[in-house]
Structure 1
Amino acid sequence: MTEDSQAPLAVIAIRQVEKSTGASRNAFEQAIALKALGYRVAILAERGRRELAEAAGAELVRLKRWPFKGPFRRFWFNRRVQAWCRRHRPAMLVSHGDVETPDVVYMHNCVHLASQRIHGRDLPPGHEVAAIHDHVLKGGKFRRLAVNSRMMANDFRDRYGIDESRIEISYPGYDPEIFNLERATAGRPVRRRELGIENDTRLIGLITSGNFTKRNVAGFVEMAAGLEQRLPGRCRFLVVGKDDFSPYQRQAEQAGVAERFIWRTTVSDVETLYGALDIFVLPAHIEEFGRVSLEAMACGTPVLLSSTTGAAELLEADHADLILESRDTKAWVDRLERMLEEPGLDSLGTALSTLVDGYSYQSQTEKLKTSFRGL
Structure 2
Amino acid sequence: MDLAFALYKYFPFGGMQRNFLRIAKACLARGHAVRVYVLEWQGEVPEGIELVRVPVRAVSNVGRYRRFSAWLARDLAQRPVDRVVGFNKMPGLDVYYAGDPCFAEKAERLRGPFYRFSSRFRHFSEYERAVFSPESRTQILMMSPVQMPMFIKHYGTPENRFHMLPPGISRDRCAPPDATKRRQRFREAQGIGQSELLLLQIGSGFRIKGVDRSLTALASLPPALSARTRLFIIGQDKADPYLRRAQQLNIADRITFFKGRDDIPDFLLGSDILIHPAYNENTGNVLLEAMVAGLPVLVTAICGFARFVSEADAGIVIPSAPFEQETLDRSLASMLADDDARARWSSNGIAFGKTADIYDMPERAADIIVGGALA
Measured against the shorter chain, the TM-score band is 0.7 to 0.9
For 1:231 and 1:102, the matched residues in 2 are separated by 52
Contact conserved, 2:314 with 2:345, CA < 8 A, in 1? no
Is the aligned partner of 1:74 residue 2:65? yes
Q: Which AA in structure 1 matches 2:350?
A: S
Taking structure 1 as the reference length, the TM-score comes to 0.84
* Per-residue Cα deviation, 1:162-208 (whole angstroms, up to 9, x for no partner): 12222223344222135534465443223323333210121122122
For 1:50 and 1:344, the matched residues in 2 are separated by 40
Which of 281, 285, 297 aligns to 1:287? It is 281
For 1:86 and 1:50, the matched residues in 2 are separated by 29
Decide whether aligned partners of structure 1 residues 181 and 155 sit closer, same or farther in structure 2, where only a CA change above 3 A counts: farther
Taking structure 2 as the reference length, the TM-score comes to 0.84
For 1:190 and 1:120, the matched residues in 2 are separated by 47
SS in 1 for 2:214: helix
Is the aligned partner of 1:41 residue 2:37? no
Tell me the equivalent position of 1:207: 202
Contact conserved, 1:19 with 1:52, CA < 8 A, in 2? no
Tell me the equivalent position of 1:151: 146
Q: Which AA in structure 1 matches 2:287?
A: S
Tell me the equivalent position of 1:339: 335
For 1:116 and 1:239, the matched residues in 2 are separated by 31
Is the aligned partner of 1:191 residue 2:186? yes
For 1:352 and 1:68, the matched residues in 2 are separated by 47
Which of 7, 10, 13 aligns to 2:6? It is 13
Moved more, 26-35 or 285-294: 26-35
For 1:235 and 1:217, the matched residues in 2 are separated by 16
For 1:81 and 1:152, the matched residues in 2 are separated by 28
Q: Which AA in structure 2 matches 1:166?
A: R
Deviation at 1:312, TM superposition (A): 0.8
Where do 5+ consecutive residues of structure 2 fail to align? none
Contact conserved, 1:74 with 1:98, CA < 8 A, in 2? no
Tell me the equivalent position of 2:349: 352
Contact conserved, 2:198 with 2:231, CA < 8 A, in 1? yes
Contact conserved, 1:303 with 1:322, CA < 8 A, in 2? yes
Tell me the equivalent position of 1:63: 54
Decide whether aligned partners of structure 1 residues 120 and 354 sit closer, same or farther in structure 2, where only a CA change above 3 A counts: farther
Which of 81, 91, 94 aligns to 1:103? It is 94
Decide whether aligned partners of structure 1 residues 19 and 179 sit closer, same or farther in structure 2, where only a CA change above 3 A counts: farther
Q: How many residues align?
A: 363
Contact conserved, 2:281 with 2:303, CA < 8 A, in 1? yes
SS in 2 for 1:249: helix
Tell me the equivalent position of 1:5: none
For 1:148 and 1:374, the matched residues in 2 are separated by 20
Over 6 Å off, 4+ runs: none
Decide whether aligned partners of structure 1 residues 68 and 254 sit closer, same or farther in structure 2, where only a CA change above 3 A counts: closer
SS in 2 for 1:12: strand
**Cα RMSD (Å):** 2.9
Is the aligned partner of 1:133 residue 2:133? no
Moved more, 95-104 or 290-299: 95-104
* Per-residue Cα deviation, 1:34-73 (whole angstroms, up to 9, x for no partner): 234442222222333695342xx43223332234324232
